[in-house]
Amino acid sequence: MLFDLHVEGEAQVPEKGAVILASNHPTYLDPAFIMVKLRRPVRFLAWERPFRVPVLGLLMKRYGAIPVNIDRPGRASFEAAAKVLRSGEVFGIFPEGGRSHFGTMNPLKSGVARLAMMTGAPIIPITIRGGHRVWHKDQLFPRPGPVSVQFHPPMILESKKLSSHHRRSQSLVMGAPTAIETAENARDKEYERDIVDKLVKTINQSLLPSVRAEHKEDRVYQEADVPVGWNPELLPYLSFIIAWLLLPRFRQIVSPALLGWLTLYAGYLLVHRTVRLNTPWTLALRQLSPWIVYLGILFSTLLSRDHIGLAVVFLLICLWYQTFRFYSYRKFRKWGLVLAYLIWTASWL
């Protein structure tokens, strides 16, 4: 319930055989996001320190995590990953080597390419969108929000280059490389860079537009000094003036409660503009307050206390929509409030 998780393309993962899942790494929950709809278990390299925590370490071992020293990854971790793939299992890796800082990826390490060249396993790029917003690296705990996981088509390595790489690896075990082998090793390095570049390009195709959209939404949401606009903040007052001037029936039922709601809302907007409290709760209230005022006006004029339950349910739905679909919520709020006040005004004809 904390995350609105959407997964697409999970059918790209074959039902059997070795495969590498390579993803960007915005949160600590990325392995769970990736595995949630897969029918096959995934083995991940994981930071060794959590393994020392009694319950957490046991849980990580049960799910097949492989401990690794991030400061000194070493050959042992690489061989452990290769062993997983040679056994025909699914291996998950975050080529950045750590969590992303700003939503976009850190520079990728070449280990994923070497692993694919050594084992011949295809690489399935994965893009995790929205993770940076729900669990920023500086946050202690995650917050609610939408997260999407996209599995891209697999990257199949060229068989000729795989076979030549395997032969050179065997010859290096037997002795020092020849001049020809040294040149071919240089070409291997170039091929590794090509694999990494293609992986970055594939992940970024859907990651970068998402990050740009998230930054745009954050700017809109986090600005505590957004000027008061006719819609939605001034819409209650415009509707009141129109109803007062044009509808005699409305003038007969104006109550202190209705005037109280309008006065209270004006005071709230004034305080919000003056104090400029830029906290998650005050910002959420600013986005939700037009609906609260509209419901207050309805209860002051048309509705009775019997409808309070429905009003609470409606506000909870708006709060969910605002949290998980903020950009869509703003469009819904804009035109939804216009329609709502038109219906309210028309009810006095």
Residue 304 has pLDDT above 70, yes or no: yes
pLDDT by residue (tens digit) across 314-331?
A: 999 988 888 777 767 877
Which CATH number applies to 3-221?
3.40.1130
Residue appearing with tokens 């996981």: 149
Contact 127, 105 (CB under 8 A): no
Q: Is 52 helix (H, G, I), strand (E, B) or coil?
A: helix
Structure-token pair, residue 62: 């049960």
pLDDT by residue (tens digit) across 139-159?
A: 777 777 789 999 999 999 876
Cα Rg of the chain (Å, integer): 28
pLDDT by residue (tens digit) across 90-138?
A: 999 998 877 887 778 888 888 899 899 989 999 999 999 988 877 877 7
Identify each DSSP E strand in 121-270 by its residue range: 123-129, 145-151
Structure-token pair, residue 82: 């290769």
Whole-model pTM: value is 0.67
pLDDT band at 339 (very low <50, low <70, confident <90, very high): very high
Of 126, 129, 137, 127, the closest CA to residue 102 belongs to 137
The full set of domain ranges for the chain reads 3-221, 235-346
Structure-token pair, residue 259: 């005037």
